[in-house]
């Protein structure tokens, strides 16, 4: 079966702009989580959605937001982009809250 | 909230040697501890995990140990091979969280020299 799919794979944006990233989970998976990966901070948890509801949120500013649709696809949005938002954004999906999380290939965001 | 510390940040071993990576966590209520391997340019992939009611788990050349009292867990790789070269991340699920709410260590870059 198809894995976790993230689009786009690469993105270049200018400071002050906003961006929307998309994640399609493995078919049947209802939990979708987002992580930011940078060389300095490693993998940091952004938020988790389950059945269209945000279940947990990491320690990121309100410029970072997300949502989940009825088909479990998820989007995350970053408004007023800053240079420090340049990172690999990874999405992970799992069947239920106590099962393995599978990661997508990520979206590489560069803010210039 | 939960905080996970991981050591060392880099590790270089000769092929065939063993490698050990150690992590400590702060939230005594954390109950699930996975390890992910990320090869260069690829997605993180789960290689082994352990729950808080188990002290040790083994899968071929990989093993994980958990000491709940000391709040630390370790990854052991025996008979290392060049294809084990990657960045390894430990993680913990904090109290009230789920497998989708992972708090990661900062990673260990393992290099296995042939």
Chain A nearest-CA residue for B3: A44
**In the predicted model, what is the mean pLDDT of residues A24-44?**
93
Cis amide leading into B69 (omega within 30): no
Give the pLDDT confidence score for residue A2 in this predicted structure.
80
A59: distance to nearest CA of chain B, Å?
10
- Kind of pairing between the strands at A87-94 and A107-111: antiparallel
Q: What span, in angstroms and rounded, lies between the C-alpha atoms of A106 and A4?
A: 9
Residues A81-98, mean pLDDT to the nearest whole number:
91
CB contact under 8 A, B100 and A90: no
Residue A2's nearest CA partner among A32, A25, A20 is: A25
User: Which residue of chain A comes nearest to B92, CA vs CA?
Assistant: A45
- On whether the CB atoms of residues B99 and B71 are closer than 8 A, the answer is no
Residue pair B76/B20 in contact (Cβ under 8 Å)? The answer is yes
Name the pLDDT band for A97 (thresholds 50, 70, 90).
low
């Amino acid at each position: 079966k198809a894995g976790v799919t993230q689009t786009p794979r690469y993105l270049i944006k200018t400071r002050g702009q906003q961006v929307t990233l998309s994640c399609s989970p493995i078919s049947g998976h209802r939990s979708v989580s987002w992580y930011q990966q940078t060389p300095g901070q490693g993998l940091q948890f952004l938020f988790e959605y389950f059945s269209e509801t945000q279940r947990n949120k990491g320690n990121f500013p309100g410029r970072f937001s997300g949502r989940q649709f009825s088909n479990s696809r998820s989007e995350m949005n970053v408004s007023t982009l800053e240079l420090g938002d340049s990172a690999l954004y990874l999405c992970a999906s799992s069947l239920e809250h106590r099962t393995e999380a599978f990661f997508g290939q990520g979206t590489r965001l560069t803010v210039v | 909230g939960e905080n996970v510390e991981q050591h060392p940040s880099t590790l270089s071993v000769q092929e065939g040697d063993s490698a050990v990576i150690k992590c400590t966590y702060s939230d005594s209520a954390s109950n699930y501890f996975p390890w992910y391997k990320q090869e260069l340019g690829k997605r993180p992939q789960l290689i082994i995990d352990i729950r808080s009611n188990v002290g040790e788990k083994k899968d071929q050349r990989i093993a994980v140990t958990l000491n709940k009292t000391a709040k630390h867990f370790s990854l052991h790789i025996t008979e290392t091979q060049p294809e084990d070269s990657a960045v390894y991340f430990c993680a913990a699920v904090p109290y009230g969280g789920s497998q989708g709410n992972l708090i990661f260590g900062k990673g260990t870059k393992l290099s296995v020299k042939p």
